[in-house]
């Protein structure tokens, strides 16, 4: 049986004539009549890593800062021009170099806060930033912020206007670490006793005392050094060492002697002002004696002992014409007792009008 031409055409493959010369690139590979090549396409060539980028990273890691910067810049230029890999390595080298710069800067700053320029006698010669704990006894300073030992102060000679002075150094006992608060209390008590003589300064009412004790890492390493400093908060700055400002008319309470006449007793002060007994005064020492030794008995027990001793001594030796209207007594506080002070001082005082003569018989 024969087939018609139309039926025969339905069994023949459909072909598309090839495109004209010059237009072959515009025909899709999947067009009817074209056969795609068999097998995987060839892989693209792998990009090369820039060697300068690798060197920049190594220089940054080993702290060769200038080399790291130079090689990183060269790597950026070449990777952009040649299409090479390695920009991330160059950036990492710069980051490592920056970290080295920060560490070195921190070390230099910390080192500068630990030392100052000094003359042969050890005195500061200029103005140097120091951590308060790095001051030497005799250094004067400005810029103390509260009680912080981490904020630097400016150390300088005491002949320049200043607001404070490092006045004493001591070492705490080699006990186990007692805690931050206990260490500070011990240091403050010790500094209170160590700086007592300077409370006879004519600027004493404007002086604040601070103690800078060791921290726990230092304590564990055997450091027991405590620095005592005095800060002046008066209306103007000091221009001489505090030792040159002592008032010869003042005595510490424990330095008073029988017969001394005083102005009104300065409450809360360990130094008292003496007056001639033929001038108007309010109190006079009539006895000084030593309390029994032993462990610190506590404030109340010590107060009772001091009062009993002064009561037992007050009638003796007074002039019939000049007798005290009140009795006052002074005795050591705990840190003074632990420092070995056992003195008790008994004073007779006027109440309504000042005395003009000695109350004691000659």
Q: Strand, helix or coil at 3?
A: coil
What contacts 24+ positions apart, CB below 8 Å, involve 350-356?
Answer: 350/282, 350/283, 350/324, 350/325, 350/326, 351/325, 351/326, 352/325, 354/280, 354/281, 354/282, 355/261, 355/277, 355/280, 355/281, 355/282, 355/284, 355/322, 356/278, 356/279, 356/280, 356/281
User: Has residue 16 got a pLDDT over 60?
Assistant: no
Is the torsion defined by CA of 334, 335, 336, 342 positive or negative?
positive
| Mean model confidence pLDDT for the chain | 81
Predicted local distance difference test score (pLDDT) of residue 1: 47
Shared-domain flag, residues 133 and 229: yes
Shared-domain flag, residues 143 and 233: yes
pTM for this one? 0.63
**pLDDT average, residue stretch 224-251:** 93
Predicted local distance difference test score (pLDDT) of residue 61: 86
Residues forming beta bridges with residue 261, ordered by sequence position: 275, 284
Q: Strand, helix or coil at 214?
A: coil
CA-based max dimension of the chain: 170
Distance CA 112, CA 240 (A): 26
**pLDDT average, residue stretch 79-108:** 81
Whole-Å CA distances, 168 to 159, 189, 195, 346: 19, 13, 7, 31
User: How confident is the model over 78-92, as pLDDT tens digits?
Assistant: 887 887 888 888 888
**Is there a contact between 90 and 72 (Cβ–Cβ < 8 Å)?**
yes
- At residue 100 the predicted structure's pLDDT band, cuts being 50, 70 and 90, is confident
- Which of 54-63, 143-152, 175-184 is modeled with the greatest confidence? 175-184
User: Has residue 155 got a pLDDT over 50?
Assistant: yes
* Residue 143 forms part of a structural domain: yes
User: Has residue 11 got a pLDDT over 50?
Assistant: no
User: How confident is the model over 251-273, as pLDDT tens digits?
Assistant: 999 999 999 999 888 887 889 99
Shared-domain flag, residues 238 and 254: no
**pLDDT average, residue stretch 238-250:** 94
Predicted local distance difference test score (pLDDT) of residue 107: 64
Shared-domain flag, residues 255 and 345: yes
Predicted local distance difference test score (pLDDT) of residue 316: 66
Exposure string of 287-320, with b = 16+ CB inside 10 Å and e = fewer, is bbeebeeeeeeeeeebeebbbebbeebbeeebee
Shared-domain flag, residues 132 and 240: yes
Predicted local distance difference test score (pLDDT) of residue 327: 84
User: Has residue 8 got a pLDDT over 50?
Assistant: no
**pLDDT average, residue stretch 327-355:** 90
Q: Strand, helix or coil at 227?
A: strand
Predicted local distance difference test score (pLDDT) of residue 341: 93
Shared-domain flag, residues 260 and 234: no
- At residue 246 the predicted structure's pLDDT band, cuts being 50, 70 and 90, is very high
Predicted local distance difference test score (pLDDT) of residue 20: 55
* Residue 330 forms part of a structural domain: yes
**pLDDT average, residue stretch 29-55:** 64
Examine the fold and report which residue of 191, 225, 244 is the final residue of a domain before the chain moves on: 244
Predicted local distance difference test score (pLDDT) of residue 12: 45
Q: Strand, helix or coil at 294?
A: coil
* Residue 41 forms part of a structural domain: no
**pLDDT average, residue stretch 314-332:** 75
Q: What strand order describes the sheet that includes 326-330?
A: 250-252, 271-275, 261-262, 283-290, 343-349, 326-330
Shared-domain flag, residues 233 and 261: no
Query: In this structure, are strands 140-142 and 153-156 parallel, antiparallel, or unpaired?
Result: antiparallel
Per the structure, the complete domain to which residue 293 belongs is given by 250-349
Predicted local distance difference test score (pLDDT) of residue 150: 67
What contacts 24+ positions apart, CB below 8 Å, involve 338-341?
Answer: 338/189, 338/296, 339/193, 341/254
Angle between helices 65-82 and 87-112 (to 10 degrees): 160
Shared-domain flag, residues 157 and 188: yes
Contacts of 280 (CB under 8 A, 6+ apart): 354, 355, 356
Examine the fold and report which residue of 215, 244, 273 is the final residue of a domain before the chain moves on: 244
Shared-domain flag, residues 177 and 224: yes
**Is there a contact between 231 and 164 (Cβ–Cβ < 8 Å)?**
yes
User: Has residue 276 got a pLDDT over 70?
Assistant: yes
Predicted local distance difference test score (pLDDT) of residue 64: 83
User: How confident is the model over 159-183, as pLDDT tens digits?
Assistant: 999 999 999 999 998 889 999 999 9
User: How confident is the model over 343-358, as pLDDT tens digits?
Assistant: 999 998 888 888 888 8
* Residue 356 forms part of a structural domain: no
- At residue 48 the predicted structure's pLDDT band, cuts being 50, 70 and 90, is confident
Distance CA 292, CA 361 (A): 28
Shared-domain flag, residues 283 and 309: yes
**Is there a contact between 262 and 347 (Cβ–Cβ < 8 Å)?**
yes
Distance CA 142, CA 144 (A): 6
H or E element that contains 104 = helix 87-112
User: Has residue 117 got a pLDDT over 80?
Assistant: no
When divided into structural domains, the chain yields a total of 3
User: Has residue 147 got a pLDDT over 80?
Assistant: no
Examine the fold and report which residue of 63, 78, 112 is the final residue of a domain before the chain moves on: 112
**pLDDT average, residue stretch 98-102:** 84
Predicted local distance difference test score (pLDDT) of residue 355: 85
User: Has residue 2 got a pLDDT over 90?
Assistant: no
Shared-domain flag, residues 225 and 308: no
**Among candidates 279, 246, 236, 238, which has minimal Cα distance to 261?**
279
Shared-domain flag, residues 180 and 223: yes
User: Has residue 309 got a pLDDT over 90?
Assistant: yes
Percent of the chain at pLDDT exceeding 90: 37
* Residue 4 forms part of a structural domain: no
Helices (H), 288-333: 299-313
DSSP conformation letters of 199-259: GGBTTGGGEEEEEE---HHHHHTT--EEEEEEEE-SSS-B-S-GGGGB-TTEEEGGG--TT
* Residue 105 forms part of a structural domain: yes
């Amino acid at each position: 049986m024969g087939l018609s031409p139309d039926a025969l055409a339905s069994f023949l493959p459909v072909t598309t004539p090839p495109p004209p010369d010059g237009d072959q690139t515009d025909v899709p590979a999947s067009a009817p009549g074209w056969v795609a090549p068999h097998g995987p396409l060839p892989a693209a060539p792998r990009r090369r890593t820039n060697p300068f980028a690798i060197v920049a990273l190594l220089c940054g890691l080993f702290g060769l800062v200038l080399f790291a910067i130079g090689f990183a810049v060269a790597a950026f230029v070449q990777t952009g021009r040649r299409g090479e890999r390695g920009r991330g390595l160059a950036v990492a080298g710069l980051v490592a170099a920056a970290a080295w710069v920060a560490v070195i800067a921190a070390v230099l700053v910390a080192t500068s806060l630990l030392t100052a320029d000094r003359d042969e006698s050890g005195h500061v010669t200029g103005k140097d930033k120091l951590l308060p704990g790095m001051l030497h006894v005799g250094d004067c300073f400005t810029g103390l912020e509260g009680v912080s030992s981490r904020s630097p102060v400016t150390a300088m000679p005491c002949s320049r206007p200043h607001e404070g002075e490092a006045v004493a150094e001591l070492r705490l006992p080699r006990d186990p670490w007692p805690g931050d608060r206990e260490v500070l209390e011990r240091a403050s008590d010790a500094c209170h006793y160590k700086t007592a003589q300077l409370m006879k300064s004519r600027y004493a009412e404007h002086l604040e005392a601070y103690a800078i004790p060791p921290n726990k890492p230092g304590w564990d390493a055997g450091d027991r050094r405590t620095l005592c400093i005095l800060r002046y908060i008066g209306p103007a700055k000091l221009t001489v060492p505090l030792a040159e400002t002592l008032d010869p008319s003042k005595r510490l309470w424990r330095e008073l002697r029988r017969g001394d006449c005083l102005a009104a007793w300065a409450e809360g002060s360990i130094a008292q002002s003496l007056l001639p007994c033929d001038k108007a005064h309010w109190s006079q020492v009539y006895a000084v004696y030593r309390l029994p030794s032993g462990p610190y008995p506590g404030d109340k027990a010590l107060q009772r002992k001091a009062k009993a001793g002064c009561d037992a001594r007050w009638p003796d030796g007074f002039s019939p014409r000049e007798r005290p209207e009140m009795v006052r007594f002074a005795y050591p506080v705990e840190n003074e007792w632990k420092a070995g002070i056992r003195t008790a001082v008994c004073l007779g005082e006027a109440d309504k009008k000042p005395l003009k003569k000695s109350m004691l018989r000659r």
